[in-house]
């Protein structure tokens, strides 16, 4: 296609995610290197969002390019249904080596939303099939302004009305706590009191309903899609302590925050937290392909 054909086809055929297409002027990227994007007219742009937080190593990184070429010379895809592959095994082993203590098993999937869906299903199945089943534990705790992806289970957890309101009739109910933010505090709550205030809300909910709660799902330290909403220092550690006390699984969604985005390899490491289930994506492949992983403990 020539330039005009590309622009026309993009406007008429391609459905862009979260984009106002009625007034959409296409920015068509033809190539990239490092932190620089180049469009079909040769104009250069700084990839300021790392292709939505995916390209943690930049575009066309020589090591990643070489690894993909090498893999293509062997095999592009092998199903995990009854078969495996040396690359799959080596990556799983490396993730377990790098992950917070206790995470010992890896389930691979196609995207971050699927990683969260897998965690929801694993949490539910755990309570149903353990030696002393707890069939009532079917509920999930989520937070205001949460974002965990765009499949139905993940959207059910979501709390960003602009993204999710349209689909409410399709979703399952969750137990939702207020956004534990530090910028806009509740009336009468100081910055020093914020962590204790939010943890007391969580403990009240757990004390009342822990027998029916399968898991709590949280974006650690910062809720990115909500507008980079930061949590009070110590909050994640307190959440871990409370979920253990009340026998509720902790699912940490590090699709956006993982692989160095907050300074440590995983955000939960900053508060010495090891979750029961850890969701990874985006930076897992450096933005080169769609892949995600859900890590879980032996339990």
Residues 113 and 169 in one domain: yes
Alpha carbons 284 and 293: distance in angstroms, whole number: 8
3-state SS assignment for residue 281: coil
State the residue range of the domain holding 28.
3-48
The CA–CA distances, whole Å, from 104 to 116, 200, 207, 241 equal: 17, 31, 30, 21
Residues 197 and 128 in one domain: yes
Residues 38 and 133 in one domain: no
Q: Phi then psi for 276, rounded to 5 degrees?
A: -80, -35
Residues 32 and 131 in one domain: no
Convert the pLDDT of each residue in 76-98 to its tens digit. Answer: 999 999 999 999 999 999 999 99
Q: b/e map of 244-279 (b: 16 or more CB within 10 Å)?
A: eebebbbbbbbbbbbbebbeebbbbbbbebbbbbbb
Q: Is 62 part of a structural domain of the chain?
A: no
Q: Is 59 part of a structural domain of the chain?
A: no
| pLDDT beyond 80 at 26 | no
What number is the average pLDDT over the span 266-274? 98
Residues 170 and 293 in one domain: yes
User: pTM to 2 decimals?
Assistant: 0.95
Residues 151 and 273 in one domain: yes
Residues 115 and 240 in one domain: yes
Residues 86 and 210 in one domain: yes
Lowest pLDDT segment from 15-19, 102-106, 108-112, 264-268: 15-19
| pLDDT beyond 80 at 249 | yes
Alpha carbons 49 and 61: distance in angstroms, whole number: 17
Residue 20: per-residue pLDDT? 78
Q: Is 274 part of a structural domain of the chain?
A: yes
Q: What is the mean pLDDT of the chain?
A: 96
Judge whether 50 and 287 are in contact, CB under 8 Å: yes
Residue 35: per-residue pLDDT? 97
Residue 270: per-residue pLDDT? 97
Alpha carbons 65 and 69: distance in angstroms, whole number: 6
| pLDDT beyond 90 at 219 | yes
Alpha carbons 248 and 284: distance in angstroms, whole number: 27
| pLDDT beyond 80 at 21 | no
**CA atoms within a 13 Å half-sphere pointing along the CA-CB vector of 42:** 0
Convert the pLDDT of each residue in 123-181 to its tens digit. Answer: 999 999 999 999 999 999 999 999 999 999 999 999 998 888 889 999 999 999 999 99
Count structural domains, the chain: 2
Lowest pLDDT segment from 22-26, 78-82, 120-124, 200-204: 22-26
Assign 259 a pLDDT band (cuts: 50, 70, 90): very high
Residues 94 and 167 in one domain: yes
Among the listed residues 275, 267, 233, 286, the one whose alpha carbon sits nearest the alpha carbon of residue 61: 286
What number is the average pLDDT over the span 200-210? 98
- Torsional class of 259: left (φ above 0), alpha (ψ -120 to 50), beta (otherwise): left
Residues 13 and 121 in one domain: no
Q: DSSP E strands: which ranges in the chain? A: 29-33, 36-39, 44-46, 103-109, 139-143, 175-177, 213-218, 222-223, 229-230, 249-253, 277-280, 292-297
Residues 137 and 284 in one domain: yes
Residues 32 and 116 in one domain: no
Residue 106: per-residue pLDDT? 99
Angle at Cα 125 formed by Cα 104 and Cα 248, nearest 5°? 75
3-state SS assignment for residue 43: coil
Q: Is 78 part of a structural domain of the chain?
A: yes
Q: Is 258 part of a structural domain of the chain?
A: yes
- Report helix angle 191-209 to 235-245, nearest 10: 20
The CATH number linked to 240 is 3.40.640.10
What number is the average pLDDT over the span 108-114? 97
Q: Is 198 part of a structural domain of the chain?
A: yes
Assign 18 a pLDDT band (cuts: 50, 70, 90): confident
Q: Which H or E element spans position 157? A: helix 152-157
Among the listed residues 95, 139, 152, the one whose alpha carbon sits nearest the alpha carbon of residue 278: 95
3-state SS assignment for residue 107: strand
Residue 109: per-residue pLDDT? 97
What number is the average pLDDT over the span 12-32? 85
């Amino acid at each position: 296609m020539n330039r005009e054909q590309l622009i026309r086809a993009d406007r008429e055929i391609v459905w862009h995610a979260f984009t106002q297409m009625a007034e959409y002027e296409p920015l068509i990227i033809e190539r990239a290197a490092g932190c620089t994007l180049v469009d079909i007219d040769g104009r250069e742009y700084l990839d300021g969002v790392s292709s939505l937080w995916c390209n943690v190593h930049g575009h066309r990184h020589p090591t990643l390019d070489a690894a993909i070429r090498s893999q293509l010379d062997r095999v592009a895809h092998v199903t995990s249904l009854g078969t495996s592959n040396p690359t799959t095994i080596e990556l799983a082993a490396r993730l377990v080596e790098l992950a917070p203590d206790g995470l010992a098993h890896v389930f691979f999937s196609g995207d971050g939303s699927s990683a969260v869906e897998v965690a929801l299903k694993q949490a539910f199945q755990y309570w149903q099939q353990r030696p002393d089943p707890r069939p009532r534990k079917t509920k999930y705790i989520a937070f205001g302004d949460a974002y965990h992806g765009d499949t139905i289970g993940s959207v059910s957890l979501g709390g960003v009305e602009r993204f999710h309101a349209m689909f409410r009739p399709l979703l399952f109910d969750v137990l939702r706590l207020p956004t534990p933010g530090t910028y806009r505090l509740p009336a009468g709550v100081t910055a020093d009191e914020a962590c204790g205030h939010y943890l007391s809300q969580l403990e009240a909910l757990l004390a009342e309903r822990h027998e029916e709660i399968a898991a709590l799902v949280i974006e650690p330290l910062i809720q990115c899609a909500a507008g980079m909403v930061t949590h009070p220092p110590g909050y994640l550690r307190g959440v871990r302590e409370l979920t253990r006390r009340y026998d509720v699984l902790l699912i940490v969604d590090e699709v956006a925050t993982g692989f160095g985005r907050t300074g440590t390899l995983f955000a939960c490491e900053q508060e010495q937290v090891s979750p029961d289930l850890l969701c990874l994506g985006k930076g897992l492949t450096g933005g080169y392909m769609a892949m995600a992983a859900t890590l879980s403990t032996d339990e």
